[in-house]
C-alpha cells in the first residue's frame, strides 16, 4: 500500500540566519551501497549543517520509527490530521504494517541529528513485489475507530479509481518502488532534509536495479517537492469528491490542501 507524503516535508533550503542554530544531521539508509552525491546536493547539505553518513547505518527498528511518526507525521499529514483519529492503538497497527514493509527495502532511509542521534526525518519505501499483499491487507482491516475507517476507505477509493498497473506499464516501467511516506520533524523543516532523503531513495533505487518510482503526494507543499523529481502526474483526486457512506465529504484538510496527486518517475 503506497501511502502519503507529510504536508510538512518540504525541501526548501534554510536561510543563513537559521544555519547556525541547526545541529548537524546525517542521512542513513538501509542499503549497504553508498549512493553518489552530486556537488550541488552536497553543497546544499553542508549549507544546512548536514552531512551524508560516512558509512551506511542500520535503520532504526520499527518501534523507533513508529514513535517518530506518532509525534511528527500523524498531526502534520493532511488526511490523518483532519480526521482526528482517537484510537492510537489501531492507528499504530496501520503504521506498523507500513513500517515493517519498508524497513526491509534498501531505498528507505532516515536522517538523524549527529549530536543527539534522534530521528529528524524518515523516508519509507517498499518493493512492488508485495503490493498485492498490501492491497489485500488494506481490504481486510476491521478497525473500530470510525475516523480511521474513513482513512482506509479513502485509500481503497483511490486505488479503485486509478489503475496503477496500467500507468506503470504505459510508461515502460517494469520494477518500480513505492515511496510510502516522507516526514520531517517540524522544527527541522525547510532545510532541504526531505529533498536529501528523496534523492537518496531514488539514487539507491537505481543502484538496486529498480527502474521507476511511484508516490502519492497529498499537499501543496509536498507537491512542490515532488514536481522537481517526478515527471509524470498520472492522477489527481479531490478530497471533496470522496464521500463514502456520508452525505458530505468526511475528509476536509486545512487549506490550501485540496487534492491528492499520484506521480510516477522512470529511473
- State yes or no: pLDDT of 52 exceeds 60: no
- State yes or no: pLDDT of 8 exceeds 60: no
Which residues are paired to 125 by β-bridges?
179
Beta-carbon count within 10 A of 135 CB: 16
Which residues are paired to 124 by β-bridges?
181
pLDDT in tens, 13-39: 433 334 444 445 555 554 434 444 444
Distance from C-alpha of 164 to C-alpha of 216, rounded to nearest angstrom = 11
Q: How many domains does the chain have?
A: 1
State the average pLDDT for the chain: 83
- State yes or no: pLDDT of 40 exceeds 60: no
Q: What is the CATH number of the domain that holds 180?
A: 3.40.630.30
pLDDT of amino acid 1: 40
- State yes or no: pLDDT of 96 exceeds 90: yes
pLDDT of amino acid 51: 40
Q: Tell me the residue range of the domain where 53 lies.
A: 4-266
pLDDT of amino acid 115: 83
Query: Is beta strand 25-29 parallel, antiparallel or unpaired with respect to 50-52?
Result: parallel
Q: What is the residue whose three cell numbers read 546544499?
A: 44
- Name residues whose C-beta falls within 8 Å of residue 183's C-beta, 6 or more positions apart in sequence: 6, 8, 9, 68, 69, 72, 73, 76, 77, 121, 122
Cell for 117?
A: 542521534
Question: Quick one: average pLDDT of 110-125?
Answer: 90
> For the chain, how long is the longest CA-to-CA vector?
54
Q: Are 146 and 244 in contact (CB under 8 A)?
A: no
Amino acid at each position: 500500500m503506497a501511502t502519503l507524503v507529510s504536508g510538512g516535508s518540504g525541501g526548501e533550503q534554510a536561510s543563513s540566519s537559521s544555519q547556525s542554530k541547526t545541529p548537524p544531521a546525517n542521512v542513513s539508509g538501509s542499503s549497504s551501497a553508498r549512493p553518489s552525491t552530486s556537488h550541488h546536493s552536497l553543497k546544499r547539505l553542508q549549507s544546512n549543517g548536514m552531512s551524508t553518513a560516512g558509512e551506511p547505518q542500520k535503520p532504526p527498528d520499527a518501534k523507533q520509527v513508529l514513535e517518530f511518526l506518532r509525534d511528527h507525521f500523524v498531526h502534520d499529514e493532511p488526511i490523518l490530521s483532519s480526521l482526528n483519529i482517537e484510537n492510537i492503538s489501531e492507528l499504530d497497527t496501520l503504521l506498523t504494517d507500513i513500517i515493517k514493509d519498508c524497513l526491509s527495502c534498501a531505498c528507505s532511509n532516515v536522517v538523524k541529528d549527529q549530536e543527539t542521534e534522534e530521528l529528524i526525518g524518515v523516508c519509507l519505501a517498499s518493493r512492488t513485489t508485495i503490493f498485492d499483499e498490501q492491497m489485500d491487507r488494506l481490504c481486510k482491516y476491521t478497525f473500530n475507530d470510525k475516523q480511521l475507517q474513513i482513512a482506509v476507505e479513502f485509500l481503497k477509493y483511490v486505488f479503485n479509481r486509478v489503475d496503477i498497473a496500467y500507468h506503470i506499464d504505459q510508461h515502460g516501467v517494469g520494477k518500480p518502488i513505492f515511496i510510502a511516506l516522507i516526514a520531517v520533524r517540524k522544527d527541522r523543516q525547510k532545510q532541504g532534509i526531505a529533498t536529501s532523503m528523496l534523492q537518496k531513495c531514488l539514487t539507491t533505487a537505481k543502484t538496486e536495479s529498480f527502474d521507476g518510482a511511484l508516490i502519492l503526494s497529498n499537499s501543496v507543499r509536498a507537491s512542490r517537492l515532488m514536481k522537481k523529481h517526478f515527471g509524470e502526474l498520472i492522477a489527481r483526486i479531490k478530497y471533496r469528491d470522496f464521500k463514502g457512506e456520508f452525505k458530505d465529504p468526511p475528509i476536509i484538510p486545512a487549506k490550501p490542501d485540496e487534492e491528492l496527486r499520484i506521480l510516477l518517475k522512470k529511473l
